[in-house]
């Protein structure tokens, strides 16, 4: 019995989760039981050449997804249930489940449990028990995402933040299905009650379908404002830890503002 089959059997017997390879999947469970960053993506072998095409599909998201090789390539091949082990940024796992399961190439996406397990490729390195890593990042959708030209996103983000900072919007990473923008040196943008330097990151992720959808991951960092002018801030911390509620509220507000620009571009 392979590791993956043991994993399935354990959950069926434990009573926590019941699912089949016919399309049921895990989204809700005790967060402490999940391995941070790790997802199993099952291949829908009913789709023509899906086992070859799925690797190209995952590559379209750039560095946001890392695929790990199993001893048997692909994973689960001997049992004719091929899947991929992938790593994503902590806090975005459930968001990726929603995105990837929309592809016809994907049969299921699950988060494996067992916090003592090691991530593939890490050797003897065990994931650090960081409570912040278990806090999910805000994950919002874009209603008219399929109508948004990919190349126009940068201008759209700059339009939203113009006047808040000077040339502070940067395109950090771009691939065929994703773009990530950073907005730096903001103040009281998310955390109104404190005087912090705030840096935001907005990742636009598109589904690979005939009618694509946009999803956006909102993350941010904050640091004390330096006492001396011209000195760069240090000791940045993740907003999703102490200021998770503020970040979530800001993401909802950003979604509404972005929707407004799309409906009234002028």
pLDDT tens digits along 179-216? 999 999 999 999 999 999 999 999 999 997 677 888 99
Euclidean distance between CA atoms 182 and 199, whole angstroms: 7
Tell me what the mean pLDDT of segment 12-36 comes to. 42
pLDDT digits over 64-99, tens only?
999 998 888 889 887 789 999 999 998 999 999 999
- pLDDT score, position 131: 64
Euclidean distance between CA atoms 22 and 10, whole angstroms: 18
Tell me what the mean pLDDT of segment 119-137 comes to. 59
- pLDDT score, position 14: 38
Euclidean distance between CA atoms 37 and 91, whole angstroms: 8
Would you say residue 126 has pLDDT above 50?
no
Report the DSSP pairing between strands 139-142 and 66-68: unpaired
- pLDDT band at 32, cuts 50/70/90? low
Report the DSSP pairing between strands 178-187 and 139-142: unpaired
Euclidean distance between CA atoms 217 and 203, whole angstroms: 5
Paired with 200 in beta bridges are 183, 220
Contact present, 239 and 257 (Cβ < 8 Å) = no
Please provide residue 78's backbone torsions phi and psi, each rounded to the nearest 5 degrees: -60, -35
- pLDDT band at 249, cuts 50/70/90? very high
- Dmax (CA) for the chain in angstroms is 63
Q: Which of 137, 138, 147 is nearest to 214 (CA)?
A: 147
- pLDDT score, position 114: 62
- pLDDT score, position 45: 93
46 Cα distance to chain centroid: 27
């Amino acid at each position: 019995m392979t590791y993956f089959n043991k994993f399935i059997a354990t959950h069926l017997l434990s009573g926590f989760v019941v699912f089949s390879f016919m399309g049921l999947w895990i989204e809700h469970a005790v967060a402490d039981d999940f391995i941070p960053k790790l997802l199993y993506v099952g291949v829908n072998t009913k789709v023509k050449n899906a086992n070859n095409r799925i690797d190209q599909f995952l590559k379209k998201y750039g560095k946001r997804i890392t695929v790990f090789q199993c001893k048997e390539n692909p994973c689960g091949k001997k049992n004719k249930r091929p899947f991929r082990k992938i790593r994503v940024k902590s806090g975005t796992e459930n968001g990726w489940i929603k995105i990837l399961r929309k592809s016809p190439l994907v049969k299921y996406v699950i988060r494996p449990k067992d916090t003592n397990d090691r991530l593939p490729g890490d050797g003897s390195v065990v994931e650090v028990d960081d409570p912040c890593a278990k806090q999910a990042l805000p994950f919002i959708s874009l209603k008219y995402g399929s109508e948004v030209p990919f190349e126009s996103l940068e201008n759209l983000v700059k339009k939203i933040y113009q006047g808040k900072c000077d040339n502070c919007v940067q395109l950090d990473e771009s691939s065929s299905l994703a773009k990530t923008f950073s907005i730096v040196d903001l103040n009281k943008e998310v955390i109104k009650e404190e005087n912090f330097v705030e840096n935001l990151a907005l990742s636009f992720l598109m589904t690979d379908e005939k009618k694509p959808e946009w999803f956006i991951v909102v993350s941010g960092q904050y640091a004390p404002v330096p006492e001396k002018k011209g000195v760069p801030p240090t000791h940045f911390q993740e907003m999703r830890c102490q200021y998770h509620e503020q970040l979530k509220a800001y993401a909802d507000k950003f979604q509404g503002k972005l929707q407004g620009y799309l409906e009234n571009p002028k």
